[in-house]
Amino acid sequence: MFDGLEALIDALAASDRITGWGRAQIAWELGILAELGFGLDLSSCAATGESDTLVYVSPRTGRAVSRAAGEPYKERLLPLPRFLAHPGAAPSDGDIIDGLNLTGYFLERHVFASLHRALPQARAHLIDRLRRAHSRNGSPAEPAEAAPSPTSD
């Protein structure tokens, strides 16, 4: 966790672009989840085993889901940013926002809920500011579908 935090701090110092430090923030949060035993499996589809068209994550299992397998359930699934399914892919600002929403969902569900707390308000403010900045830059985020509540499973 220390190495991940150090990488995040280095990314914050090196870049003022969301795609620079945001990717490091998401990697750090995924690392925290994994260290605590709640790692996400984004390597292949939970239903089909394929790994080419992963676009969703099951909020129940934390496993990736392909476009075809998830289509009937897409309103209940979380979006999987392309750069997480394909590590060589460059993230967009919208991908970073989706990634932070994804990690936030599982942090809230597995870490903060057990403490009877919500995610820190500062994190919610950060994502709100990123979403507003993303919209102002002429590339509005796709309408966010309400992510399932971690307590609704």
pLDDT tens for residues 4-59?
788 888 877 786 677 778 888 899 999 999 999 999 999 999 999 999 899 999 99
3-state secondary structure (DSSP) of residue 126: helix
Q: How do the residues of the chain divide into helix, strand and coil, expressed in percent and rounded to 5?
A: 55, 5, 35
Distance of CA 36 to the CA centre of its chain: 17
Quick check: pTM over 0.95?
A: no
Name the residue among 90, 65, 93, 80 with its Cα closest to residue 30: 80
